[in-house]
Amino acid sequence: MSETRDFSVFTRIAPDGSASMEIAIEGINCGGCIGRIENAVKHLPGVADARLNFTNRRLTIAWKDRGFEPGLAIDALEGMGYRAHPFQIRNVEEEEAEQTRFLLRCLAVAGFAAMNIMLLSVSVWSGNVTDITPETRDLFHWLSALIALPAAAYAGRPFFMSAWRALKARHTNMDVPISIGIVLALGLSLVETANHAEHAYFDSAVMLIFFLLCGRYLDHAMRRRTRTVAGNLAALKADTAHRILEKGELVQVPAAALRVDDRILVRPGERVAADGMVVGGRSSIDQSLITGETAPHKVTSGSAVYAGSINLDGTLTLRITGTAENSLIDEIDRLLDKAVKARSRYVRLADRAARLYAPVVHAAAALTFAGWMLMGAGFHDSILIAISVLIITCPCALALAIPAVQVVAAGKLFRSGVFLNSGDAIERLAEADTVVFDKTGTLTLPEPRVINASSVDPELTIAAARLAFASRHPLATALARHADAKSPFENAVEDPGRGVHAFVDGQEMRLGSAEFCGIANDSAFAEAERLGASTICFHWGHRQAVFIVHQTLRPGAADVMRSLISLGLEIRILSGDRPAAVAQIAQNLSIAHWQGGLTPAGKVAALEDMRTRGRRVLMVGDGINDAPSLAAAHVSMSPITAADLSQAQADAVFLGERLDPVFHTLAAARTARRLMHQNLGLAVIYNAIAVPLAVAGLVTPLIAAAAMSGSSLIVILNALRARSSGKTGAASDVKPVKQVVRAAWTS
């Protein structure tokens, strides 16, 4: 029994004494599972809270009662038909990979079987109107059964297992009517074949499995890409630190072993292991990924330094002010986890439709069977008509209505350089009415660039770039990248905190600060101050140069802002950079609403405030500090140059230096949502026409199967309009269904 298991290794203890644990759950296939699971676990004695993340299938439970056994929650979940176990990153990755392979194997089996059965069925259909003998027809039907039964038993397992778990827990889901329809269609086909009937429906059952597996596999593949991996944050955390003992000796210790008031030594190029305060030394700190600050941050005695920052030049002595579990990075991690759980409560359009659809299908088939039995039709005819109703109402068109559009739209976006990380991203993108941009690396190019190279002697630029190779300072890196120099000076020496120098042809070269290079006056200083940019100086003999390094706007950013406004969207900027730097960008792009100097928590609070005012926000950001904001927003995007953690949390990632993909993605999403609604409408109209005919006994299972396949084809053809729509996604760009059908026949 799970009560006797030791879960202490999976349990996290908070400073206030409360405990929590993450449980990975298998068998969740729709948004309706969220409320059921959370309510069941919350009612367990001692549980304070339970939150299910639908995206990564993880349940977080919290409790304060020291006597509470987490095994009770696992048993409760298993009693509801779900397989549950304590979350371990490696186990979850392996299980998700195996689930993907399993679905792909099922899809391959169903596709191969469907093709072969259809070949036999075509022969039977054509033979029924010509000269096929009963013996030959029976042989073809038995061959179809020989292929269909084992194929359906294997390929239909994702639906059968899900339906069995639901029924075992005394509730239904979308897989219940699907499984019933498949089993009854196969069973009826066997009976009809044994009785030498003209028609069997093995092809319909296997084709249904194949279509549904297509949607489920693609949905699972998208969802898998959204999984949060804790290693993304771990990459920013220093594994070890050099702790200074009382006698001044250095000892290397794990970062997790650091305690408040410990002193550590951070050398140039090392990553800071924990939040602290400088008590000795001076240096420049690169904390752009942590806070969004673009320029290197000068620190001296008394300055605060965050874990994850990189020490660029001087050696620092820090006094630890926050342990590894209470650093800014861990605060980002907690904000991120909370935001992801909140966003996972979004109920997708297909799930909302499925909640109403399943009971209607059951009721229609059951009432049809009962009605015809009462009218004396006999068991055989009554069950035949009921199965026709079940087949014709089988949710194939409904199940394909949303995934088909998603696949087509995602393919179009992929070809234009946009990769979707979430299965419901298109729906949420279409609902966005506000776009919030981060500044650093999002509105601006991710890497600073030299902007005044045209006014500097090219010989000096190349020499300075070669010298810049000897430094790890961001400004020197930008200069080296700009000139594309290939061969550094071998005798270069770096003076920490000041610059780098070398002797070339008997003359000293210096690259670094103005003081280090002996440059007091230059027009470039005034220009850099006006732009809010940085400068790096170069001195060689009697010649000198001052390079202005600045993060420039992405090409065409202003045009994109105007295009977004034309869609009726409100534009804002939320940045952790200096307010003065943010103000300049906002002015250049004519953005009236902006905020600068925000912490990760401040960005999340601003987004929450917009949400409470009814705004549905698309957040576009790239830094580690943007990850909680990306997760907290209604929907999110990030450039391909973003930090790994930000890309993992974004619903979409785009390529290139331009922001045009943001506009094109929103426009395409609005078109896709329109097509989704049309597909659902087509499915409803189809059922409104077909169900009464089937209930009246005017439709045979063969015609029902053909009608079901026809409705799926119409839905797929309508979904193809997402591929042919223009970049703007305007209604006028969407071709009528008639044109698409004509194009499909002529291509």
Catalytic residues: 438
CB atoms within 10 A of CB 235: 12
620/635 Cα distance (integer angstroms): 9
DSSP state of 395: T
343/354 Cα distance (integer angstroms): 20
Structure tokens at 89: 């990153």
The conformational region for residue 457 under phi > 0 = left, psi -120 to 50 = alpha, else beta, is: beta
- H or E segment to which residue 684 belongs: helix 660-695
CB atoms within 10 A of CB 583: 14
- Cβ neighbors of 704 (< 8 A, separation 6 or more) are 204, 387, 388, 389, 391, 392, 690, 694
Sheet holding 534-540, edge to edge: 449-450, 543-550, 534-540, 507-512, 499-504, 493-495
Compute the C-alpha angle 91/94/97, nearest 5°: 150
Structure tokens at 494: 């770096």
409/665 Cα distance (integer angstroms): 9
Q: What is the DSSP string of 207-239?
A: HHHHHHHHHHHHHHHHHHHT---THHHHTTS-S
Beta bridge partners of 12: 20
Structure tokens at 75: 């048993």
- Cβ neighbors of 129 (< 8 A, separation 6 or more) are none
389/362 Cα distance (integer angstroms): 10
Please, are residues 169 and 39 in contact by the beta-carbon 8 Å criterion?
no
Beta bridge partners of 545: 538
358/701 Cα distance (integer angstroms): 20
- Cβ neighbors of 526 (< 8 A, separation 6 or more) are none
- H or E segment to which residue 676 belongs: helix 660-695
- Cβ neighbors of 64 (< 8 A, separation 6 or more) are 17, 18, 19, 46, 48
651/226 Cα distance (integer angstroms): 8
**Which of 178, 200, 204, 179 minimizes the C-alpha distance to 188?**
200
- H or E segment to which residue 36 belongs: helix 32-42
